[in-house]
């Protein structure tokens, strides 16, 4: 079973009397009466991060991907909690010092502070991070409107190449390898963007499992579909060079996940304010498609207007 089948079949009924749980179909818990927003994420060695040879980078990656859940909702993270399992090799004095120093830098960068957690012994390394923020409102999932434009921030695909290079499945120059691995370990988050999103986004999510997979989660309880245009999906110049150098296809790299860019929809009437806002913040924004009626199947078109088969939609948590 997939993650959402498990939630639907076994746990969603347990939250039916709790409006703040948002039906267990969003990235966060939102108590409107107390302006409180919470997200919880678990990361397991070998699944969510490649290895623990660079603990200072691994902890940075998982912390950023956790607070990204709040930021894509229009919420500024304030506090975080870490629970971890591991052994004396994982949590040696050297590793613990590296983790602590890295967290200190992240706290300064994002204005957050460690506020609690738990540690247990296990030969399986894992981390669970709870992020907490405060807001009077958030941007919900499943609030897209027919004919909304679909936007995404930054570039997609770099993190996937970073993972492939760490696994020695893609080999290129040292400079390019460093660039892609930095994107894998250190996803870029936009500190000044969350509150701005509230002015125009109808619905939003961060790209964690992949562009197509997360877009479908975004509208999974609405009678809607989408069209995407491959030539508008943003990739970096470094990725363009890799695709050319290795004779690879763009479609196979833009929906692999771990990008942590913000994917959102907005009414066409908001296009001017969106362009102006992102320009003022110095953040790249791309209009990549539109929301359609579910009378149409989800489609993605190549540069020549030809339909592309949607075979691999991204990562799925299967059990």
- Banded model confidence at residue 312, pLDDT cuts 50, 70, 90: low
Distance CA 261, CA 239 (A): 16
- Banded model confidence at residue 313, pLDDT cuts 50, 70, 90: low
Number of residues assigned to the chain: 319
pTM: 0.94
Residues 6 or more apart whose Cβ sits within 8 Å of residue 65? 41, 43, 187, 206, 208, 258, 260
> 161-209: per-residue pLDDT in tens?
999 999 999 999 999 999 999 999 999 999 999 999 999 999 999 999 9
Tokens describing residue 315: 């990562």
Distance CA 77, CA 38 (A): 9
Q: What is the mean pLDDT of the chain?
A: 93
Q: Determine how many CB atoms are found less than 10 A away from the CB of residue 105.
A: 11
Residue 50 pLDDT? 79
Least confident of 119-123, 216-220, 297-301, 302-306: 302-306
> 235-246: per-residue pLDDT in tens?
999 999 999 999
- Banded model confidence at residue 317, pLDDT cuts 50, 70, 90: low
What are the residue ranges spanned by the domains of the chain?
3-134, 149-301
CATH 3.30.1330.10 applies to domain 3-134: yes
Residue (of 40, 25, 74, 39) closest to 220 by Cα position: 25
Rg (CA), the chain: 19
Q: Answer yes or no: are the C-beta atoms of 194 and 274 closer than 8 Å.
A: no
- Please tell me the CATH superfamily of domain 149-301, with its number: PurM-like C-terminal domain (3.90.650.10)
Q: Does residue 311 surpass a pLDDT of 80? A: no
Q: Answer yes or no: are the C-beta atoms of 109 and 186 closer than 8 Å.
A: no
Cross-strand partners of 156: none
Give, to the nearest 10 degrees, the angle between helix 237-246 and helix 158-166. Answer: 50
Tokens describing residue 77: 């993270």
Residues 6 or more apart whose Cβ sits within 8 Å of residue 140? 22, 26, 73, 203
Residue 319 pLDDT? 46
Find the helix or strand (DSSP H, E) in which 117 lies. Answer: strand 113-121
């Amino acid at each position: 079973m997939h993650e959402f089948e498990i939630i639907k079949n076994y746990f969603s009924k347990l939250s039916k009397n709790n409006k703040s749980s948002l039906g267990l179909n969003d990235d966060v818990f939102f108590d409107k009466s107390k302006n409180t927003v919470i997200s919880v994420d678990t990361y397991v060695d070998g699944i969510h991060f490649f290895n623990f040879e660079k603990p200072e980078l691994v902890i940075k990656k998982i912390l950023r991907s956790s607070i990204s859940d709040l930021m894509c909702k229009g919420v500024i993270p304030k506090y975080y909690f870490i629970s971890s399992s591991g052994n004396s090799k994982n949590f040696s004095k050297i590793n613990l010092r590296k983790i602590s120093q890295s967290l200190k830098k992240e706290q300064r960068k994002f204005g957050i502070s460690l506020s609690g957690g738990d540690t247990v012994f296990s030969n399986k390394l894992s981390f669970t991070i709870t992020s907490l923020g405060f807001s009077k409102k958030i941007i919900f999932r499943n609030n897209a409107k027919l004919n909304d434009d679909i936007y995404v921030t930054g570039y997609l695909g770099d993190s996937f190449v970073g993972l492939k290079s760490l696994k020695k499945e893609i080999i290129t120059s040292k400079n390019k390898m460093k660039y892609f691995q930095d994107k894998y370990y250190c996803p870029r988050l936009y500190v000044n963007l969350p509150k701005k999103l509230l002015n125009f986004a109808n619905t939003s999510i961060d790209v964690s499992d992949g562009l197509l997979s997360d877009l479908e989660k975004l509208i999974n309880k609405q009678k809607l579909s989408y069209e995407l245009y491959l030539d508008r999906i943003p990739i970096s110049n470094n990725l363009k060079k890799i695709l050319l150098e290795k004779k690879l296809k763009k479609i196979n790299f833009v929906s692999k996940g771990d990008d942590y860019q913000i994917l959102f929809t907005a009414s066409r009437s908001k296009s001017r304010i969106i362009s102006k806002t992102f320009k003022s913040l110095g953040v790249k924004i791309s209009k990549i498609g539109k929301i359609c009626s579910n009378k149409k199947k989800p489609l993605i078109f190549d540069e020549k207007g030809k339909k592309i088969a949607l075979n691999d939609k991204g990562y799925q948590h299967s059990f």
